[in-house]
Amino acid sequence: MSNKMTGIKKALAVTLTVAVSSLNSLVVSNTMAQVTLKLAGDMSVRGAVTLNGMNAASGATVFDGGQIKTGSNGSATINLGKQGQLELGADSELVLKLENGMIGGNLRTGRAIVSVPQGVGVSIFTADGTAITEGREAAILTVDVVCGNTRVASAKSDAKVTAGERVEVVAAGQEVSVGTPGTQAPNCKRMAVTAPAAGIGPALLLPLLITGIAGGIVGLVAVTQGDDITPSSVNISGFRP
């Protein structure tokens, strides 16, 4: 009887040990998952850039809540992988925010351009309001507070800007300004916003290729058959030293 009880106790001890070990692994895995969710991406920099008050170099890892600040000659690009990317111009400061299917942050100074694929939204806070895209389609959004107020321009997809009870819709290719320009407004320089170039389809590509080939043949015949043309007088590129 005693041997049987001893065996039962050993089996219970082994089972308890396995259960505790499994629980510890689950806790560690959950903690690691939470840390992974906070990981925003890698940063590439040009000029003077700081991350959380420390000088930053290209390749630095940026986490949710990270404070990025660029100098007068600086710029930073934060690569968020499949989530998209965020670019900061000169004299900009942003506290990065990364949530479920949403990237953005608090833009305190300067300008930011956010590019996201379909399924990922954008939310940029400023002193004047919030610029938002809902992720229904890919978006390229510029938020600019250089001149004291907030300008929001959408190069792709519709967006909206909320400022108190006011809601402004920003159609693709359009821009909206909210807030009061600062005293520096007459002399400040806004970032130029250009929509992505349209792709060239096959219907346009073939005529362009034919035209280019024909032009090259004509030029070659003219060079080879000209009576007074010498190698030194042929200028193909249009540049002479």
Overall domain count for the chain: 1
Residue 15 lies in a domain: no
> How confident is the model over 95-129, as pLDDT tens digits?
999 887 899 999 999 999 999 999 999 999 999 99
Residue 118 lies in a domain: yes
In percent, how much of the chain has pLDDT > 70? 59
Say what the pLDDT of residue 25 is: 52
> What average pLDDT does this structure show over 1-12?
62
| Higher per-residue confidence, 189 vs 21 | 189
Q: Would the pLDDT of 52 be above 70?
A: yes
Longest dimension (CA), the chain: 119
| Higher per-residue confidence, 201 vs 153 | 153
The CB density around residue 124, as the number of other CB atoms within 10 Å, is 27
CATH number at residue 104: 2.60.120.1440
Say what the pLDDT of residue 181 is: 80
In three-state form (DSSP H/G/I as H, E/B as E, the rest C), the secondary structure along 151-207 is EEEEEECCEEEEECCEEEEECCCCEEEECCCCCCCCCCCCCCCCCCCCCCCHHHHHH
Residue 117 lies in a domain: yes
Full domain range(s) for residue 131: 40-178
Q: Would the pLDDT of 54 be above 50?
A: yes
- Sign of the C-alpha dihedral computed for residues 60, 66, 67 and 70 taken in this order: positive
Say what the pLDDT of residue 100 is: 77
| Higher per-residue confidence, 11 vs 79 | 79
| Higher per-residue confidence, 1 vs 160 | 160
From the list 78, 73, 79, 84, the residue with the least C-alpha distance to 49 is: 73
From the list 176, 177, 174, the residue with the least C-alpha distance to 157 is: 174
The token duo for 153 is: 């321009």
Say what the pLDDT of residue 70 is: 97
Say what the pLDDT of residue 111 is: 96
Q: Would the pLDDT of 62 be above 60?
A: yes
> What average pLDDT does this structure show over 57-78?
95
Contacts of residue 231, defined as CB under 8 A and 6 or more positions apart, other chains included, come to none
From the list 107, 109, 55, 71, the residue with the least C-alpha distance to 86 is: 107
The alpha helices in the chain, defined as continuous H runs, are: 2-38, 202-225
Residue 84 lies in a domain: yes
Say what the pLDDT of residue 161 is: 94
The token duo for 84 is: 């998209």
Mean pLDDT, the chain, rounded, equals: 75
| Higher per-residue confidence, 92 vs 39 | 92
Residue 128 lies in a domain: yes
> Residue 44 and residue 59: Cα distance in Å, rounded?
6
Q: Would the pLDDT of 31 be above 70?
A: no
Output the CA–CA distances (angstroms, integers) from residue 36 to 41, 62, 178, in the order listed: 10, 12, 36
Q: Would the pLDDT of 7 be above 80?
A: no
> How confident is the model over 174-187, as pLDDT tens digits?
999 998 886 655 55
With vertex at residue 236, the alpha carbon angle to CA 230 and CA 239, rounded to the nearest 5 degrees, is: 110
> What average pLDDT does this structure show over 177-202?
58
Residue 210 lies in a domain: no
Residue 91 lies in a domain: yes
Residue 208 lies in a domain: no
